[in-house]
Amino acid sequence: MNSFDEVVTIFVGQAGTQVSNACWELLCLEHGIEPNGFFNRANESLEKSCCVFFEPLQRKFSPRTVVVDLEPTVIDEIRIGPYRNLFNSHSLITGKEDAANNFARGFHSIDRQMKDIILDRVRIMCEKCSNLNGFIISRAVGGGTGSGLATLLLEYLNEDYAKKTKLDFAIYPAPNISTAIVEPYNAILTTHHTLDYKDCCFVTDNEALYDICRKLEVQSPMYTNLNRVQAQVFSNITASLRLNDSRNCNLQEIQTNLVPYPRIHFPLIAFAPIISPEKGQYNLSIRNITYDCFQPANQMLRCDPRKGTYIACSLLYRGDVNVFDVKDAIAFLKNKGSIRFVDWCKNCYKITINRHPIVTIPGGDLANKKQTVTSLCNNTIIRHAWTRLLRKFDLMYQKKAFFHHYLAEGMEEKDFQDARDNICTLLEDYIQLET
């Protein structure tokens, strides 16, 4: 029995399922696990994979994951795809009918039997852990399954595993592109309902990810390209748990250093260097890649962090990184003066260095650099994303547009007002931090 901290991952909805494909593709490469689940002897040094994989048979690994969608199409692609033998068949759960981009349908109308199946599979996965550290949930909050069903699951996880850390990777509606007109309703409702059920929520949007892909010179970005960028961040955040190193940064430590108050738990994500394989021969200093993480072009949410105030910052370095170079980069940022922190927390850089460099997908979009950094920053600029979303919510809410779809699934009009009031209070919380 190992003594490693173990993490159970839960991917919900179509977007969550597609992100899971990218994540397990990358993690298998990092740990030397073949698509059929068998261990590659050439990577014996990465035996700490038990953090996110379990071993049902000798040298045969399966992810500690549950992948859920209310309709079968996307998960069926996994069942017949190249990684079909990697997953435990009980980890892939599908219904017969989707949530139709309706939060209420995913939250109120899900079949009770299916809900019990999902929770039972999560319980079984947790029982396979000897030292469960927490949960990582991945979803898009604009759709019905990622918002409604994921909210229901978080509610029950909070009841059954109250003391375990719950990190949420949430794709929020983008400013100018959308797949459903009711995305603002779904995003505001799920944020309202899950605010007390998760410890930290990392927010991204597809528009920012498209910008990153264009920076990588991808001509016609598809969801696969976007998801592989997110998978790289997922890998870096869990690297200290998964890879043998002198330093172990678990999920609680991430939460402790980024969340000053329970409700202020929406860090921004940035990654550097964002450079294509064709330009991978150019070397960038630690100072340069650290500075890039504070620029708009490297953010995974469409915003300009320089216009906000930083509350906390965690810098996760990977590869051949010298601690003195990191200290020099931090000193450079402080002297530059363009990065503002709240008055009551001046020394809020949390540094983690993992000696294992990143692994990239062969033929992928990202250069395989020996020195990289992922920044997780709690910044008040995110309130502008809430303001933008709330404005779109209000435009429909004032006309009661599309209400009947939600009311028919068991919601009440008061639920919309309560959600709106809660997000307005959240905005006020951020404004008070800046004054």
What is residue 39's DSSP assignment?
A: B
119 shares its domain with 253: yes
User: How far, CA to CA in Å, does 312 sit from each of 68, 165, 325, 341?
Assistant: 33, 19, 21, 8
Q: What is the pLDDT of residues 2-44, one digit of tens each?
A: 457 899 999 999 999 999 999 999 999 999 899 999 987 655 5
What is the residue range of 430's domain?
A: 384-434
Q: What is the pLDDT of residues 122-171, one digit of tens each?
A: 999 999 999 999 999 999 999 999 999 999 999 999 999 999 999 999 99
Amino acid at 308: G
25, 253, 428, 434: which one is catalytic?
253
Q: What are 195-211's pLDDT values in tens digits? A: 999 999 999 999 999 99
DSSP states along 356-422: SPP---TT-SS---SEEEEEEEEETTHHHHHHHHHHHHHHHHTTTTTHHHHHTTT--HHHHHHHHHH
Regarding whether 154 and 13 lie in a shared domain, the answer is yes
Known catalytic membership, residue 127: no
- pLDDT at position 45 is 47
What pLDDT is attached to residue 360?
Answer: 94
Name the average pLDDT for the chain.
92
Residue 426 lies inside a defined structural domain of this protein:
yes
The CATH number linked to 360 is 3.30.1330.20
pTM of this prediction?
A: 0.96
Over its C-alpha atoms, the chain yields an Rg (Å, rounded) of 21
Residue 263 lies in a domain: no
100 lies in a domain? Answer: yes
Let me know whether 140 and 201 are in one domain: yes
Q: How do strand 349-354 and strand 310-319 relate by DSSP bridges?
A: parallel
Higher-confidence residue: 100 or 434? 100
pLDDT at 324 over 60: yes
Please tell me the chain's helix, strand, coil percentages from 3-state DSSP, rounded to the nearest 5.
45, 20, 35
Q: What is the CATH number of the domain that holds 426?
A: 1.10.287.600
